[in-house]
């Protein structure tokens, strides 16, 4: 534990925000609206609340075991062998998720910006970028998130705020949807939960906080702010396009960007700014996944050879990213992987926390 690795509560919150806002922000309005129609905003709030159980459990575990990462308290609560097994499952999940989301990123880049660029090139360079920096110190990791957050948030606001003038309010009515059952609301909300439940990287950061006891408050604030952008994006996209038109838009958020006009035509293509900001958002999200992999494997192996571990994961992520045949298959893999991932990111931490209470286990605080 080095002093220069100290993480502040604000940095922890920022890391959660920039990790949550990632690949799925472009297409999430389509998925939710397709299932529940005009009830999408209500369903989104429900999805965020469901994901809140996961972030609450992770932060409470971090406060209960302030000197241990996910790997450490897995061993403490479950025993070394079983704990290591589940740690490996978590690491493999995030490597797999990184693979499919990297392919999603490549599809958007090639389809919107670089049509003549092979998919494999876009995949290669994104993974290479993450692998090149994931072995750095914890303080460097959070500084990178802190640096890029304004370049993610500000362009997103430039798209969302002007889009309000194009809102048609009857597109949001009725707010409970047309013949939408409770089960359908939960189903639509589950898509949002899948999109915002990628915060487990903070389980590797809490032990490096100056005051780990503040992790719950900062964690919940970071989750709330990051999730709020999803709710606002889904609501505005629905209000602008309507439920029926939304079904024909692969990336509704990008469609909002194409509608924005800045007075004086200072910028002819605002959607290009959104795509650049989205690239930053994708990088910080994938960066968090790879950081969890590198630090997790290093702790399991009791090694500090972060650079070697980082590049050993490269072929696996590249192979996963190369599996889908087209964008529709990419979405299928993303939805399936993240659905299974809810067990890892929400149910597993909750059960782990409950078990630690039952067994009256608590980490060393000093």
Q: What is the DSSP letter of 118?
A: -
pLDDT value for 5: 67
Average pLDDT, the chain: 91
CA-nearest of 158, 162, 163 to 237 is 163
Specify the range with the lowest mean pLDDT, choosing from 32-41, 46-55, 260-269, 309-318.
260-269
Whether residue 366 is predicted with pLDDT greater than 60 in this model: the reply is no
Q: Which domains does the chain have, with CATH numbers?
A: 3-343 (1.20.1740.10)
242-287 pLDDT per residue, tens: 999 988 888 899 888 888 776 655 556 677 888 889 999 999 999 9
User: Distance between CA 61 and CA 59 in Å, rounded?
Assistant: 5
CB distance 84 to 300 below 8 Å: yes
Question: What average pLDDT does range 227-241 have in this prediction?
Answer: 96
CB distance 260 to 270 below 8 Å: yes
pLDDT value for 2: 46
155-170 pLDDT per residue, tens: 999 889 888 988 999 9
Specify the range with the lowest mean pLDDT, choosing from 6-15, 282-291, 323-332.
323-332
């Amino acid at each position: 534990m080095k002093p220069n690795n100290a993480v502040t509560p604000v940095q922890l919150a920022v890391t959660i925000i920039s990790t949550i806002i990632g690949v799925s922000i472009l297409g999430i309005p389509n998925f939710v609206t397709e299932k529940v129609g005009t009830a999408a905003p209500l369903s989104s709030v429900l999805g965020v609340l469901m994901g809140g159980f996961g972030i609450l459990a992770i932060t409470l575990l971090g406060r209960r075991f302030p000197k241990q990462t996910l790997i450490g308290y897995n061993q403490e609560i479950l025993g070394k062998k079983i704990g290591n097994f589940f740690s490996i499952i978590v690491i493999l999940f995030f490597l797999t998720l990184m693979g499919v989301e990297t392919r999603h990123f490549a599809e958007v880049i090639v389809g919107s910006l670089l049509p003549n660029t092979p998919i494999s090139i876009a995949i290669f360079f994104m993974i290479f970028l993450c692998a090149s920096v994931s072995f750095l110190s914890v303080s460097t990791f959070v500084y990178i998130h802190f640096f890029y957050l304004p370049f993610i948030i500000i362009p997103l606001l430039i798209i969302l705020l002007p889009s309000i003038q194009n809102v048609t309010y009857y597109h949001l009515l009725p707010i409970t949807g047309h013949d939408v059952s409770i089960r359908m609301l939960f189903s639509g909300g589950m898509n949002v939960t899948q999109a915002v439940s990628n915060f487990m990287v903070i389980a590797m950061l809490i032990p490096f906080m100056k005051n780990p006891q503040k992790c719950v408050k900062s964690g919940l604030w970071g989750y709330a702010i990051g999730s709020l952008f999803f709710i606002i994006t889904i609501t505005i996209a629905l209000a602008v396009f309507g439920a029926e038109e939304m079904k024909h838009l692969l990336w509704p958020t990008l469609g909002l960007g194409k509608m924005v006009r800045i007075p004086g035509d200072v910028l002819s293509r605002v959607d290009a700014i959104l795509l650049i900001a989205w690239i930053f958002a994708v990088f910080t999200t994938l960066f968090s996944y790879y950081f969890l992999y590198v630090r997790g494997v290093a702790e399991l192996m009791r090694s500090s050879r972060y650079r070697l571990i980082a590049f050993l994961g490269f072929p696996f992520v590249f192979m996963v990213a190369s599996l889908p045949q087209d964008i529709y298959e990419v979405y299928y893999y993303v939805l399936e992987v993240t659905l299974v991932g809810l067990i890892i990111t929400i149910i597993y931490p909750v059960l782990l926390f409950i078990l630690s209470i039952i067994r009256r286990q608590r980490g060393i605080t000093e």
